[in-house]
Amino acid sequence: MSSNDLSNNIGTITFDINDNIISYSGIGKDRITDVKEFSVLPIEEDQTIVVSVSKTDLKAYLYKKEGVILAVYVSISAAPTN
């Protein structure tokens, strides 16, 4: 996961393997229901996977470390130009 991949970071959720929310920021507050979907995905320890978030213009980067999963939301829509 490079910093360029996360330049459109708009929020996070951190949760454990029992789906307990540890923390959230930004849009993560409104995406708590994603935890149920994310928790069934096969994420290996110390690995990152990328998923499209249904019915949104978001991607989520999911990283698992010591039984805790961090979901970082990024916008995939083009940034407005002025």
Calculate the alpha carbon distances from 34 to 3, 17, 23, 40, 82 in Å. 23, 14, 14, 11, 33
Q: Indicate the average pLDDT of the chain.
A: 89
Q: Map out the domains of the chain as residue ranges.
A: 9-75
pTM given for the model: 0.85
Average pLDDT over residues 70-74: 96
Average pLDDT over residues 51-61: 93
CATH number of 9-75: 3.40.1840.10
Confidence grade of residue 4 (pLDDT, cut at 50, 70, 90):
low
Residues 17 and 28: beta-carbon distance below 8 Å? no
pLDDT at residue 8 greater than cutoff 90 = no
At residue 19, what is the residue type? D
